[in-house]
Structure 1
Amino acid sequence: MISLILVALVAIEHLYILVLEMFLWTTPRGRKTFGTTPELAEASKSLAANQGLYNGFLAAGLVWGIFHPDAAFGRQIEIFFLICVLVAALYGGATAKRSILLMQGLPALVALLAVLVL
């Protein structure tokens, strides 16, 4: 049960990122979250929407794993998508903003360890 809750939290986080990147990118909240100016946000909104869509796919995969009728296969799906989140966090942390490692990578790592151990 703990691992399912942790996986669900990672999925919710990525749904929130989807909303920020796809729908709130040019708003004051989106600009503050990502540290962009109004001009940069406007110029990059289609790129951000694309990133948001990918975060949505990560969330969808995690939800698929949680609700898959075959628990063993669902666990494999969760492992795959949590590793995808970790790889994305490592890349984002190395190339965009170091805090991505903590904000996205750490929850995914904790959830992955829980899925593997529990």
Structure 2
Amino acid sequence: MLIVGLVLAGVAALIHVYIFYLESFAWTEKRTLATFGMTAQEAEVTKPLALNQGYYNLFLAIVTGVGIVLTATGSTAAGAALVLAGAGSMFAASLVLVISDPSKRGAALKQGLVPLLGVLALVIGLAA
């Protein structure tokens, strides 16, 4: 289960790298506007906030990735702590999204399901 948890956490990290790209580089593009349900005017106004939020997503992905590498190379305690912090924060952010705006439950599900599964599998794998 440990490997399953690391793979799922890795997929979650990749999803968050993609979210970073959308929020930090493609925020005003037509496809991103449709993805986030915004107008071009809304995107222009929120562009600085999205840039900052994008980097938060990137940093969560990096923490998770470093944790995966550490766990895979034998530093299980430190690595698992980083994976749990990174993926757990991804899941927690998805809860904030759905609680603050229930109409965004689809986005929250996309953002939070894989990290949650990764955390659960990792915890089960560590307990075994």
Greater RCO structure (CA 8 Å; 6+ sep): 2
1:91 has 2:96 as partner: yes
Q: Which moved more, 1:79-88 or 1:11-20?
A: 79-88
Q: Distance in 2 between matches of 1:43 and 1:101?
A: 23
Hey, what does 1:71 align to over in structure 2?
A: 76
Secondary structure of 1:57's counterpart equals helix
Q: Distance in 1 between matches of 2:99 and 2:107?
A: 9
Q: Which moved more, 1:25-34 or 1:69-78?
A: 69-78
Q: TM-score, normalised by structure 2?
A: 0.87
Structure 2 gap segments, 5+ residues each? none
Hey, what does 1:105 align to over in structure 2?
A: 112
Number of equivalenced pairs = 118
Secondary structure of 1:98's counterpart equals helix
Secondary structure of 1:44's counterpart equals helix
What's the offset of the Cα at 1:12? 0.1
Structure 1 gap segments, 5+ residues each? none
Q: TM-score, normalised by structure 1?
A: 0.93
Hey, what does 1:39 align to over in structure 2?
A: 41
Q: Deviations over 1:28-87 (max 9, x none)?
A: 111011010011111111111111010011101100101124122101111122221121
Hey, what does 1:5 align to over in structure 2?
A: 7
Q: What is the identity, as a one-letter code, of the residue corresponding to 2:97?
A: G
